Structure 1
Amino acid sequence: MESGPAVNTSATGAVEGVQNSTLFERAARAGHFVSGLLHILIGYIAIRLAFGQGGNADQSGALAELGSKPGGSIALWIAVVAFLALAIWRIMEAIVGKKSDQDEGSAMDRLKAGALAVVYIAFAWSTFGFAKGSGESSGQQNAGMTARLMENGFGKLVLIVVGLVVIGVGGYHVYKGVSKNFLDDLEGHQSKGVEYLGIAGYAAKGVALIGAGALVIVAVFTSDPSKATGIDGAVKTLGEQPFGQILLILAGIGIGLYGLYAFVLARHAKM
């Protein structure tokens, strides 16, 4: 019977073997490409909202938009596979570290990889719903869950914590953009164009996340779960402000630029 260390070494070796698969790495990189495409569609929807057209400026709205195009159903199934591949890749990074690292990576790096794996699993699940024709609006789901949690004091506390976490994640995105720390995620020297994409994209997405988190907290204190509709709610709230049309256009452009940066990740991310 194999000892514990031997089993662990065998498991680590198996994971590293998968990481060395060129085909699997390409599938994982495709997850970045799909994420970029969805962010571009979210930006496009935000700009449409600025001109009085309908739509949900969030992942569900982007998936619905993608699914409505010719060949959209096939594209959605490809997106499911790509997101799952990227999620599995992040799980492997959480276990053995990045393939590109010379060492095993820090505990914080592994924790971040695990958190990203959860995010991409959620993306894959949401995309799966739209691929099989049963997708739902993220905003409606968020509002419904918020309403259920607001039925008791503990649930309200959970919502406040969630809102603060989302605000923190948004703040980190802004910091990562303005500090150019995102360049550490990329292989080799990058052009000024890539730098500008990353700065604008991370900042815009961060602001949207901060708005989404703030709306969750506002929903709790106003006892109005309809306010907690995620990024779509944050974008639409932006449009209700003075010069809202201009703000929506700028938000749409910024989120779209993040999508273009995700295309850079698909090609140059350290894996």
Structure 2
Amino acid sequence: MAKLRSQNIDPVEVLARIGYAARGLVYTIVGWLAVLAALGGAARAPDSKTALSAILTQPFGAVLLGLVAAGLVCFAIWRIAQAALDADRLGTTTKGLVRRVGFAVSAIINAGLAFSAVQMIMRTSAVGGGDSAARDWTAYLLSFQFGQILVGVVGVVVFAAGGANAWKGYKGRVMDRVTADGQVEPWLVRLGRAGYLARGLVFALIGGFFISAAYQARASEVQGLAGALRTLQEQPYGWALLLVTALGLFAFGAFQIALARYRRINPTGFTASV
């Protein structure tokens, strides 16, 4: 750490950029696998764990997946810095605190995904989808006295996050803290808008599943990313809906990879205390 600082390279910035690249890679694989599912070239709709499994099947897959897992850990650390240390200087306003809580949730999710990748490498667990894990957690919450309320709150929060993502994509406000000049910026805006719109749709569907589970008090109602994509696929002209959404998720992944290069990250104010 000290050596990196002496060379004017902030270790937290390095972690953040590695993390954005790893996150982007996972989303691009999910998007590509969803494209294949839409065109009839895949057996089922994918999710993040499916993407990790796809990496593992490649030559030197264990090494590649290990690098991705490390990158996801880096991203989780960066999210912690954003949430707990306010790396983006969001402050303690209501909006700022909401975003920082979202960063904390993202840290947990990405750390869990990294743990799943390690389990796959070590062959200590079968490669499973995120839908079953979501249903297990929902069943656990429903076991409490006010479990339905808890699950309903989760659903509303996820649905609201979907709306926020979709609104961000619709309004084109995707270049916050991003510096890119010339011909790169218009392409980043297009990628970001498509990506956030697709991500917003998926989050809204997942949130709806949780709300339905809370209303019916049945964990089986919950679906994760794969379930949301499968729901689109089952609609009239579902292959087209899934294809458009898949391309959007691929665009989101490409946008995240671009953030590894172009996002402004200036955590100087707190690294001295890290």
Whether the TM-score (by the shorter chain) exceeds 0.5 is yes
What amino acid is the match of 2:258? V
8 Å contact from structure 1 (residues 73, 131) kept in 2:
no
8 Å contact from structure 1 (residues 150, 223) kept in 2:
yes
Offset, 1:52:
6.2
Partner Cα separation in structure 2 for residue 62 and residue 141 of structure 1:
16
Which of 104, 109, 127 matches 1:122? 109
The 3 A distance-change label for structure 1 pair 57 and 28 is same
Structure 1 segment 23-172 matched on structure 2, within 5 A: 23-50=11-38, 51=40, 53-98=42-87, 104-107=89-92, 108-109=95-96, 112-113=99-100, 115-133=102-120, 134=125, 136-151=128-143, 154-172=146-164
Q: In the alignment, which residue of structure 2 is the partner of 1:259?
A: 253
Q: Which has the higher contact order (CA 8 A, sep 6+)?
A: 2
Deviations 1:171-224 (A, max 9, x none): 110111112222113124452111111111100011000011101122333454
Q: Does 1:195 align with 2:189?
A: yes
What amino acid is the match of 2:203? L
Which blocks of at least 5 consecutive residues in structure 1 are unaligned? 1-13
Equivalenced residue count is 253
Partner Cα separation in structure 1 for residue 69 and residue 12 of structure 2:
14
TM-score normalised by length of structure 1: 0.82
Partner Cα separation in structure 2 for residue 257 and residue 60 of structure 1:
19
8 Å contact from structure 2 (residues 141, 151) kept in 1:
yes
8 Å contact from structure 1 (residues 227, 233) kept in 2:
no
SS of 1:262's equivalent in the other structure is helix
Which blocks of at least 5 consecutive residues in structure 2 are unaligned? 266-274
TM-score normalised by length of structure 2: 0.82
8 Å contact from structure 1 (residues 87, 118) kept in 2:
no
Q: Which runs of 4+ in 1 moved over 6 A?
A: none
What amino acid is the match of 1:234? A
Structure 1 segment 1-20 matched on structure 2, within 5 A: none
Partner Cα separation in structure 2 for residue 192 and residue 233 of structure 1:
33
The 3 A distance-change label for structure 1 pair 27 and 149 is closer
What amino acid is the match of 1:83? L
Q: In the alignment, which residue of structure 1 is the partner of 2:9?
A: 21
Deviations 1:106-141 (A, max 9, x none): 224465345324413421232222223225421111
Deviations 1:18-77 (A, max 9, x none): 9x6345423321111111111111112222322163245221111111122122211222
Partner Cα separation in structure 2 for residue 105 and residue 151 of structure 1:
36
Deviations 1:130-160 (A, max 9, x none): 2232254211111122233334551111111
Q: Identify the structure with the greater helix proportion.
A: 1
Q: In the alignment, which residue of structure 2 is the partner of 1:219?
A: 213
Q: In the alignment, which residue of structure 2 is the partner of 1:6?
A: none
8 Å contact from structure 1 (residues 79, 124) kept in 2:
no
Structure 1 segment 226-237 matched on structure 2, within 5 A: 226-237=220-231
Partner Cα separation in structure 1 for residue 193 and residue 101 of structure 2:
24
Partner Cα separation in structure 1 for residue 76 and residue 117 of structure 2:
18
Partner Cα separation in structure 2 for residue 94 and residue 149 of structure 1:
25
- Using the aligned pairs only, state the percent identity: 29
SS of 2:215's equivalent in the other structure is helix
Q: Which moved more, 1:28-37 or 1:122-131?
A: 122-131
